């Protein structure tokens, strides 16, 4: 899977970035290399969110897909 990341330069130094495809997925770093590593970690964390799998609606189901 490939995701687009928007990188912003900070006037005081360093960078911050957001991943538009994943709401709330942001990170920062002093260098672009550090930012790249931190964004990857943030993406993994955002995609690894646990949720309640108790479904009470008989017409619903949970599936997993690989992208």
Residue 62 φ/ψ, nearest 5 degrees: -110, 130
Q: Which structure tokens are listed for 38?
A: 């931190």
pTM over 0.85: no
Domain boundaries in the chain?
A: 6-47
For residue range 4-55, list pLDDT tens digits in order.
999 999 999 999 999 999 999 999 999 999 999 999 999 999 988 776 666 6
Q: Which structure tokens are listed for 18?
A: 């957001």
């Amino acid at each position: 899977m490939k995701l687009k990341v928007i990188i912003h330069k900070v006037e005081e130094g360093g960078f911050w970035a957001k991943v538009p495809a994943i709401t709330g997925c942001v990170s920062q770093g002093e260098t672009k290399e550090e930012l790249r590593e931190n964004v990857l970690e943030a993406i993994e964390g955002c995609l690894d969110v646990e949720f309640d799998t108790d479904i009470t609606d008989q017409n619903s189901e949970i599936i997993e897909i690989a992208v």
